[in-house]
Structures are given as structure tokens and as C-alpha cells.
Chains A and B, each alone.
Chain A
Amino acid sequence: MKDMRYIRTASVTEITDSLKKYGDKAKIIAGGQSLVILLKQRLVSPGGLIDISQVNDLKFIKKTKKTIKIGALTTHRDIEKDPLIQAHMPILVEMEKQLASVQIRNMGTLGGNLCHADPAGDLAPPLIVMGAKLKLISAKGSRTVSVEHFFRDFFETAIQPDEVLAEIHVPLLPVSGNALYIKHSTRGVDTTIIGVAAFVSKDRDSNTCKDIRLCVGGVGSVPIRAKKAETAVRGKAVSKKIIAEAGKKASEEIHPVSDLQGSAEYKKELTEVFIKRAIKAAWDGIGRTNA
């Protein structure tokens, strides 16, 4: 690969100073599990690399009253093994167990995964249905963006050249709520063909669905909220008929492209099936899995 400048940073300030100095001439490297592949294939040729992997201030998992705050340099393996995540957000643990391999999870970071913005990425759909937000920091200050609005296009996000993704804030699930992620791939941990995340909450008085959020990865240029499917379920009793309707609506509102991994029709069908499975499993699991 092309000769590059290497800048090692040890603090958030050093990161933002380097970004200010180099702008879009340098690329941030965290775990490198996506970027090193692009570098080796010479698909990107930055003039420099800003190594943020040793900025320990961005590696943490802490619980507040209403959220869990995760530093962007937290690795997939950290999430998989963390007791707080296991207790409060088992959807993330289940997702991580199906993500790539142990070696990749040891190095790959949540921040890197989100900034790489692979539309079939496994991390985004669960974070989207849980209403997670991202804190982006630059030399000018910081701002918050919802994960849902972070993705713009294939491998493209709302992050500006002078910003670094610093934190991920995930609201705790309500007691009457549950979230689930299921994915389809050639082998269990391979690149996702379709990934479906579902969040449901129950109105205990009427036993109807209080709220529902559904997100599908791998069927568009960004992860897609299946809003029409959600409308079919929200406020209603969660019967087999309602679930079937949600599945059908979801398959109608997505527009996947045929490729080697399946035709557009197959992907629509998969989405319908997975939406139904995810809603049912999430609904049935309410009250069982939360701390």
C-alpha cells in the first residue's frame, strides 16, 4: 500500500487536534478490521493514519439511571463478555456471538463498525430499535445523532471529517419491553444477508403492544426501519394474524437488490419470515430476560 504518515494518539484532544490538522487527508484507525482490508486492497489511499486504538478514555461500559454508555473503542468481544450488557441488553450479546469470529471481535470496535457503515452490519439494527444515540466530538465541541439517522448511504455516515465517534448511549429496555436480533447468513457468523432487530413493549393493562420498532439490515443502502410493519402492530393485540400482517408489510416496504446471495424475491420472503419470528420471540420473551 501507499506510503503513509502514522499518527498515534493517546487522548480525545489529540484525536480532534489531528483531525483538525489533517482533515480528510488522514483516516482514523481503531480496530482496523475493516480499514486494513480496504488499505490492502488499495481501495482507499489516505495520506495518513490517525491511530486511536490506545485512547483508553474511549473504552468503557457504564450504567446510568436510564442508559448504558459505551465508549466507541469498546470491542465486540468486550460487549459479548460484559456483565452489565448481559444483564440489561442481552440482544447485544446474542448479536455479538454471531458476528464474524473471536479474532475479529477481539480487535473490532463498536465505533469502527458504525463508522464503516456496511448496510448489512449487525450492530446497527439492534441499536436502532433500542433508540441508541451517538456522541460525536470535534475540536469545536460535540453533538448527538441518533443511530437511525447516522447512516447516509453505502459505507457513508453523517460524520464530518473533523469528528470522531466517541460514545454510544443506549437507553435501558423498559421492564415491559424486550428486544431481539436474528440474522441469516451462509454460515452462522458470515456476512449477514438479512438481519432483523425487533423491539416490543407491552401495555400490561390491555395486553396490547405499547410500542414496536423493527429494523432490517442488508436490504438497502442503509439499515431500514420497517415503519409500515410497525404500524400494523402498534396498539394492537399481538395475534398470529397481526404478526403475519406485519411480516407482509415489511416485505413490501423494502426494496432489496438481487445478487449472489439471493434474489430480491428471496430476500423479501426472508424479511417477512424473520420479521414474524422476531416479533413473536421478542413478545414472548417480555418479562423473562430483563434485569
Chain B
Amino acid sequence: MIIESSITLDGPINEIWEKLLDPACLKDCIPGCESVIIRSNGEFEGTVKVKIGPIKMRFKVVLTIVEKQPPVRLISKALGKDLFKVGRFTQKNQLVLEKLDSNKTRLSYISELNISGKIANFGERVLRAKAKEMEENYLASLSDILKHRGRKS
């Protein structure tokens, strides 16, 4: 399934680019994310908990950067395996940053997500909506962090 969206963020383009690749920021913004580390080969590895009603999943995710043109374009792919064996996903992401002014950047992404395993039986309509919800939450969290940076937490 294809999910796409865009959002205007408060921040200079370079800073936002850094945040997109910052493990601590990824951990804080990705809903259900428990940990993010960078492996020695540059891959990002983390665990993300996802819950749909009574169905609980815990994905071990490996994210690989395929192409990067700082600070405007990032192409990555991810592979997620659920530790409860309920599902699996592969994802191709294309993310574009556009400088609107010195403190405003437009982030647009298009994501191709494929879900397999038992969870896929559950229904495309629910999965699509849930995936979209998670992506929107990520962007909202990122936007919040940028708005409140500099304030003591």
C-alpha cells in the first residue's frame, strides 16, 4: 500500500535533516518505539511495539539508507519482523525536504508498505489506516519536538 503525506515543520532544513537521522529523535517520535541504535555498517536497528485492539506485535526493524542527498532527499528501506510472529513488513520510503524559509521546511514523503503474515489477513482497511496513523503520529511528534526545542524538559 502507498501512504503519502506532507507537513510544514518549524526549523531550518539542515537541522531537520539531522533529526531525521538521529536515533534519539527517531526513538522519541516513532509511536511505540522502544529503542534505536546505529549498527557498525550504518544501518538503523530498533524495536517498535504496535497494538491493534487485542492484537499485539513487537517488530524488530532494520532500516537501511539507500540514497541520500543531504539535506533534501532521503531514500530508505526497512524490514520489520514481529517477535510474536504475527506479521512482517517491508517498506520503501522516499522523503523530500524543501526549504520554505530560514526557519520553515516542508517535509513530504511517499512510503510503499507491504505487510505479510497473519496480520495481513486481518484486513487491508485496518492496516492501511493504522499505518497512516503511525506515520502521522511520527510527523506530529517531530513537529512538536521542533516547536519546543530549547525549552527545558
Contact = CB atoms under 8 A, between A and B. Distances in A.
Chain A–chain B contact at Cβ < 8 A: yes
A57 interface: no
Contact of B122 (A41, A221, A258, A261): A41
Given A27-B54, A43-B55, A156-B53, A260 B125 contact: yes
Nearest to A156: B53
B125 A259 contact: yes
Nearest to A117: B53
Interface in B39-93: 51-55, 86
Find the residue from B53, B118, B124, B132 having the highest chain A CB count within 10 A.
Answer: B53
Interface in A98-140: 116-117, 119-120
A153 interface: yes
B126 A38 contact: no
A155 interface: yes
Nearest to A218: B125
Nearest to B132: A257
Contacts of A258: 128
A44 interface: yes
Interface residues of B, number: 19
B126 A154 contact: yes
Contacts of A143: none
Contact of A257 (B118, B121, B129): B129
Contacts of A261: 125
B125 A38 contact: no
A44 B56 CA distance: 8
Interface residues of A, number: 20
- Could you tell me the dominant secondary structure of chain B's interface residues? helix
A81 interface: no
Contacts of B129: 154, 221, 257, 259
A155 B132 contact: no
A42 interface: yes
Contacts of B130: 154
Contacts of B133: 221
Contacts of A120: 125
Interface in A257-278: 257-261
Contacts of B115: none
Interface string A225-269: 000000000000000000000000000000001111100000000
B25 interface: no
B122 A43 contact: yes
Given A154-B126, A154-B130, A41 B53 contact: no
Given A43-B55, A155-B126, A259-B128, 12 more contacts: A43-B86, A43-B119, A119-B126, A155-B54, A155-B55, A221-B133, A257-B128, A258-B128, A259-B1, A259-B124, A259-B129, A261-B125
**4 residue pairs, one from A and one from B, having the closest CB atoms:** A155-B53, A259-B125, A257-B129, A43-B55
18 contacts: A38-B55, A41-B118, A42-B86, A43-B55, A44-B55, A116-B53, A117-B53, A154-B130, A155-B53, A155-B54, A221-B129, A257-B125, A257-B132, A258-B128, A259-B124, A259-B125, A259-B128, A259-B129
